[in-house]
Amino acid sequence: MKKTITLFALLGVISTSLFAQEESETEKKFTFSGSVDAYYRTNLTGPNGEDAIAPGSSFANLDGFALGMANIVASYEGEKVGFVADLVFGPRGTDAIFASPIYSATGNIVNQLYAYWN
């Protein structure tokens, strides 16, 4: 009986000493995210031909499956400085940035691009 009590006491001491301290989570300084927007468009009762697919819309004028927009956002937040780069691709992305500037090589890609200082 004495050995049983000693064994339970020893197990109790061991189990209470095994509690670990919680580790603090470090915040991520660099984040990378994105999204893809796709659509399907058809006119089941209409005649064949590209002009008779369906009524026009602001960006979805191709028949079948097509890419509406792909978006990639990268950001960095440091102690004093940070930046955000928001890039967009596809016909809906071009409409989202108002197709400006018209003759720029990056006009259809850069949605937002800025750096900041706290």
Is 55 within a domain? Answer: yes
Is 91 within a domain? Answer: yes
Is 98 within a domain? Answer: yes
Count up the domains in the chain and report the number.
1
Phi/psi region, residue 27 (left: phi>0; alpha: psi -120 to 50; beta: rest), is: beta
Range of the domain at 34: 26-117
| pLDDT at residue 104 is higher than 60 | no
How large is the average pLDDT for residues 31-42? Answer: 87
The pLDDT of residue 97: 72
How large is the average pLDDT for residues 74-88? Answer: 93
Which of 90, 31, 33 has the alpha carbon at shortest distance from 59? 90
- DSSP secondary structure string, 58-109? SS--SSEEEEEEEEEEEEEE-SSEEEEEEEEESHHHHHHTTT-STT-SSTTT
Is 48 within a domain? Answer: yes
Is 92 within a domain? Answer: yes
How large is the average pLDDT for residues 5-32? Answer: 67
Is 107 within a domain? Answer: yes
Is 3 within a domain? Answer: no
Task: Using alpha carbons only, give the angle 76, 81, 84 rounded to the nearest 5 degrees.
Answer: 40
Is 74 within a domain? Answer: yes
Average pLDDT over the chain reads 75
Q: What is the pTM of this model?
A: 0.58
